[in-house]
Amino acid sequence: MCLWIGWGNNEHLKEMKEKVIEVKNLVKKFGSFVANDHLNFDVYQGEIFGFLGANGAGKTTAMKILCGLSAPTSGEVKVAGFDIYKETEKVKRNIGYMSQKFSLYEDMTIAENIRFFSGIYGISPSDRKARQDVLLQNLGLESSKDTLIGSLPLGWKQKLAFSVAIFHEPRIVFLDEPTGGVDPITRRKFWDLIYEAADRGITVFVTTHYMDEAEYCNRVSIMNNGRIEALDTPEKLKEQYSAKNMDEVFLKIARNTE
């Protein structure tokens, strides 16, 4: 519960930590529809960066661009120090991704999924075995490594998908609404995993529309209609909008921009 209290003031952080994501004037259009309208933000090494907004605000689009899944219309984007246009493959080596569609292979076992994905990232079999043991132990799944993913409950699938997404120790992991469809307790447990990853120095970039999750982030940006309307720590945002919680902040921003 109290894992994240030490992160309250992150002004010093900006100076000390290097930028792992730099976005300048990012624009993405689909025909005449502008999904991302001149986005500008930086994300620093080791922070948990929340990307908030209503459905259709442009969060997923922006995230897909950062992951190299989608090409931007214009703007400058650097991820893990690499240019997203020219060095896409290098970017991909340094990131992990978990999409909102749950995306491990349901017809393969836990161990088979791990073997496959670590194979693609070129992790040696001995490394894989060591890391797999740790992973299963952490999740309490030692005895289920030969269980088909498809037969697990959704909460477990999500934890596994996250663990597999950071299995190759990426510098940044992108989570696109990772906790959709599960109860608050399961969600909280999922966030414990996120903090562990952040502790290990992995930068976490997460989109969500649950406002309680926004409170868990070091910094959040709030998107509306393709634009970033606010970007700061949850505390500062609440202060600025004189709101009790992030929910209120969000509602106020949404109302202002209408």
Partner 1 sequence: MRTILYVIQKEFIQVKRNKTMLRMILMVPMMQMLILVFAATYDIKNLNIFVVDNDLSATSRKLVNTIDASPFFTISNSSFNPEEGEKELLRNKANMVLVIPSEFERNLIRQDKASVQLLINAIDGSAAQLGYSYAASVIRDFNKNIIADWKGLPEFKPPYQINTVSRFWYNTELEYKWYMAPGILAILVTLIGLFLSGMSLVKEKELGTIEQLNVTPIKKIQFIAGKLIPFIAIALFDLAFGLLIARLVFNLPIVGSLWLVFGLGVLYLVGILGLGLFISTVAHTQQQVMFVTYFFMMIFLLMGGIFTPVDSMPHWAQIVDEANPVYHFMRIMRMVVLKGSGFSDLIHEFTALCIIGSTFLVLAVWRYKKTT
Instruction: Point out which residues bind partner 1 (CB under 8 A).
Output: 64, 67-71, 88-89, 92-93, 95-97, 99, 101-108, 112, 115-117, 119-122, 148, 174
Tell the smallest beta-carbon distance from residue 140 to partner 1 (Å).
24
Nearer to partner 1, 148 or 254 (CB): 148
Residue type, 46: G
Nearer to partner 1, 55 or 242 (CB): 55
Tell the smallest beta-carbon distance from residue 99 to partner 1 (Å).
5
Tell the smallest beta-carbon distance from residue 20 to partner 1 (Å).
16
- Strands 82-83, 95-98: pairing is unpaired
Nearer to partner 1, 39 or 95 (CB): 95
Nearer to partner 1, 128 or 219 (CB): 128
Tell the smallest beta-carbon distance from residue 100 to partner 1 (Å).
8
Nearer to partner 1, 18 or 107 (CB): 107
Nearer to partner 1, 89 or 258 (CB): 89
Tell the smallest beta-carbon distance from residue 190 to partner 1 (Å).
18
SS in 3 state form for the chain?
A: CCCCHHHCCCHHHHHHCCEEEEEEEEEEEECCEEEEEEEEEEEECCCEEEEEECCCCCHHHHHHHHCCCCCCCEEEEEECCEECCCCHHHHHHCEEEECCCCCCCCCCEHHHHHHHHHHHCCCCHHHHHHHHHHHHHHHCCHHHCCCEHHHCCHHHHHHHHHHHHCCCCCCEEEEECCCCCCCHHHHHHHHHHHHHHHHCCCEEEEEECCHHHHHCCCEEEEEECCEEEEEECHHHHHHHCCCCCHHHHHHHHHHHHC
